[in-house]
Amino acid sequence: MFVVFDMIRRYFMHKGYDVRYVQNFTDIDDKIIQRGKVEEMDPLALGQKYIDEYYKDAKALNVLPATIHPKATEHIPEMIEIIQGLINTGLGYEVDGDVYFAVDHFPNYGKLSGRTLDDMKAGARVEVDERKHHPMDFALWKTAKPGEPAWESPWGMGRPGWHIECTAMSLKYLGAGFDIHGGGGDLVFPHHENEIAQTEGYLKGETFAHYWMHNAFLTINQEKMSKSLGNFFTTRELLVNSPGEVIRFYLLGTHYRSPLDFNDQNLIMAQKGLERLQTSVRLAQEALGREGALNNQRIGTELLNAAKEAREAFEKAMDDDFNSALAFAALFELAKTMNGYVQESPVPSEGLAEAQKTLVKLGEVLGFDLLHPAQVQVENEEMLSQVMEVVLQVRSRSRLKKDWEMSDFIRDALKDKGIIIEDTPQGARWQIKK
């Protein structure tokens, strides 16, 4: 979800929009309180701990910081004001210090998910609370329990419900009628449905958000990732063996509304795809730096046209519901065209420079730095460079003697160890496989 909406935000910025992006943190709710008990840690401190950890993962995935990162616990007064407003209009009611939203008093309840109250009631898996006016009524405020964080309110000490937190922060930082509300597909019901009901009820019918966007699930062997199924892993665990840019490339390789099935082979393919684009940029840069990088009008025009076509194909894909998968195809097509000309002599400098610039720019829109790939850190890099210089000299002598078997053996053996050798007209180059 975070990578998807970061991509969407970046594309709006690319198109010239002034984007105000709010990403809030729910730092108090039932699950955090329960987890705090398990870890024997104050719930508020636990919430801050995982907020800090989120920032680390977001940075690794090149997710830009939001314009504002509000926390629920910093907006309790705003929540209380909204809850009181709902009570005043008859949409909220208090029972023994708890406050509930009366869903049957809001005529459009279910409009986002397409469900009716009768359907919800028939399929409800919520605990029956005889104090509720309707089984689907949801909590706006919860009375304090011993040992839990609590705040003063007109209904006694307690804490807000999950849904009201997002309403308060959305209205404070974006106001009514903002453009896009996003989240994962699992939030459509009940969370986003409840947000709409309580917010538009409080606003007396005014539109909460104009567009609702939801990304599909990441699955494992066609099943939703979950701890109960034992197929759960974290970004941090993936980062041990894969750079964040590769994970991001993998996540954006499928349209955001299509389920993405994870396996190691697909991650490896994503890495190879990203490396292809990075290699095209690097080879173009090297070609442009060689002597004889002069204009060839015919080839230059072809490359200029290829760059133009790539920009048009990229924007057409992204304008059609942010189809990052098709946008990738435009990048690969441009890289393929560039690769066909990097060995030309003289190099078509103007066209190649424009094509390279376009590829780098479009990569940036999706959140990738194709010009400066992430470097793999190794111990004693100077010693490795000296050893590889000797290895390449040995391999070069084998090739001069037409001992192709030895030459290929050295190349393949190094590849197995994570070192890639690339033969070019200017000599062999090596790099560590990311």
Per the annotation, binding residues are: 227
The answer to whether the CB of 161 falls within 8 A of the CB of 140 is: yes
List, in sequence order, every residue forming a beta bridge with 223; answer none if it has no partner.
220
Distances (CA, A) of 419 to 28, 259, 383: 48, 34, 15
What stretches of 128-201 adopt beta strand conformation (E)? Answer: 138-143, 158-160, 178-184
Q: How far apart are the C-alpha atoms of 177 and 160, rounded to whole Å? A: 23
Helix (H) or strand (E) holding 190: none
Q: How many CA atoms within 13 Å lie on the side-chain side of 118?
A: 0
Q: How far apart are the C-alpha atoms of 229 and 223, rounded to whole Å? A: 9
List, in sequence order, every residue forming a beta bridge with 420; answer none if it has no partner.
431
Residue 277: helix, strand or coil by DSSP? helix
What one-letter code names the amino acid at 314?
F
Phi, psi (rounded to 5 degrees) for 338: -60, -45
Sign of the alpha-carbon dihedral angle for 122, 127, 129, 130 = positive
Give the rounded distance of the alpha carbon of 380 from its chain centre. 34
DSSP 189-233: IIIIHHHHHHHHHHTTT--SEEEEEEE--EEETTEE--TTTT---
Per the annotation, binding residues for ATP are: 227
The answer to whether the CB of 53 falls within 8 A of the CB of 234 is: no
Closest listed residue to residue 312, CA positions, set 345, 296, 297, 334: 334
